Amino acid sequence: MSTAFIIFLVLAFFIFMSSFFTVKQQSSVIIERFGKFQSVRNSGLQLKIPLVDRLAGRVNLKIQQLDVIIETKTRDNVFIKMKVSVQFKVIQEKVYEAFYKLEYPHDQITSYVFDVVRAEVPKLKLDDVFERKDDIAVAVKRELNEAMSTYGYDIINTLVTDIDPDIQVKNAMNRINAADREKTAAEFEAESSRIRIVAKAKAEAESKRLQGQGIADQRREIARGLVESVEVLNQVGINSQEASALIVVTQHYDTLQSIGSDTNSNLILLPNSPQAGSDMLNNMVASFSASNQVGEMMKKNNKKVEKPKQAPRQSGYEDDIQPDVQ
C-alpha cells in the first residue's frame, strides 16, 4: 500500500466517525446544514452528514434558577433590596424559538423582573411588602410567563427570597418591636400586681370580718358574764351601782396583770398609783348614784307635765257666714 492510500483511509475513518454524535439526557442539539436550521436532535446516539451538517448549539432542558437583586423604594419612601429567584426551563417543543429568537435569556428575564417589582413595591408600605411578598412573586411569574412563552421558556416558579431594608430602618424596626414587647411585659406585670393587691385586700377584709365577729362574740360573752356577776352580787346585798363599780375595778386590775406579764410591752396606764383603785371605785359609785337620782327626777317631772286641752269650737254668727261664691 502506498502512503497516500493509507492517509485516505485514515481521513475516511475520521470523517465516518464524525458523522456520529451523542446528545445527553435533558438536552437538545440544533443541527444546521450550510448555515440553515435543519433539525433538533434529542438525547441518544444521533447521525449527521459529515462536512455538510454541523452542531449549531446545545440547549439545556433542565430547570434553571436566576437570582435577581433589585433595589427599589416603598410607598413610605423606604429603600429596600429584594432578591427574587426565578426558576425556568426551555420547553422541549420550542427549542427552535429558545435558540434562535432569544440570545440572552437571563438578561431578558432580569429586565422583566425589574419592571414588575418596581411597579408593584412602590404601591405598598414596608410592613405590607413583608406580608404580601407572595403576591409580588405571583405578579412577577404572571408577567414573565406572558413574555417568555413566546421565546420557548416556561417559568416554573418565582420566589421573593430576601427583603433587606436599610440598616437604620432595621434598627428602628427592632427598637419598635422591643418597645412593644416591653409594653406588653409591663401590662402583664401590672395585671399581676393588681391581682396580688386584690387578693391581699380580700384576705385582709375576710380577716377583719372574722376578727370583728370574734370581738363581738367576746364582748357578748363578757356582757353575759357581767350580768351574771351583778345578779350574784345583788343576792349577797350589794346594789347594782356598787356591783358595776366592783366589776370595772376588777377588770382594771386584770388589765394591769396582763400588761405586766408581757415583757415587751411599752404601754403605760395612767393613773397607776396604789390609791387609783379605791379612787376609781368611789368615783364610779358616786357617778352611778348621781345618774340614778337624775333619772328619778326626770321621771317625776314628766308625770307632772299634763297634756294641754283643746279649745272648744265657737258657735255663733261666724258659723252662719258662708263664702260668697261668684
Measured distance CA(277)–CA(312) in Å, rounded: 63
Measured distance CA(234)–CA(69) in Å, rounded: 111
Cis peptide before 105 (omega within 30 of 0): no
List C-alpha distances in Å: 205 to 120, 216, 263: 64, 16, 31
Q: What's the burial of 217, exposed, middle or buried (CB within 10 Å: 0-12/13-18/19+)?
A: exposed
**Domains of the chain, residue spans:** 18-60, 64-165, 176-244
- Per DSSP, the three-state class of 288 is helix
pLDDT at 319 (0 to 100) = 46
What is the torsion angle, in degrees rounded to the nearest 10, for the CA atoms of residue 262, residue 264, residue 267 and residue 269?
40
pLDDT at 159 (0 to 100) = 92
| CATH number belonging to domain 64-165 | 3.30.479.30
Mean pLDDT, each 10-residue run in order, the chain (326 residues): 76 81 91 90 88 89 92 88 92 91 89 91 88 90 90 91 84 82 86 88 86 80 74 69 67 69 64 61 70 76 60 46 42
Measured distance CA(227)–CA(247) in Å, rounded: 10
pLDDT at 67 (0 to 100) = 93
pLDDT at 76 (0 to 100) = 86
Cβ atoms of 76 and 125 within 8 Å: the answer is yes
pLDDT at 203 (0 to 100) = 87
Cβ atoms of 290 and 258 within 8 Å: the answer is no
Cβ atoms of 36 and 62 within 8 Å: the answer is no
pLDDT at 84 (0 to 100) = 93
Q: Return the closest-CA partner of residue 85 out of 56, 53, 117.
A: 117
Cβ atoms of 125 and 74 within 8 Å: the answer is yes
- The reply to whether the predicted model has a pTM over 0.85 is no
Cell 352611778 found at: 288
DSSP code per residue over 217-229: HHHHHHHHHHHHH
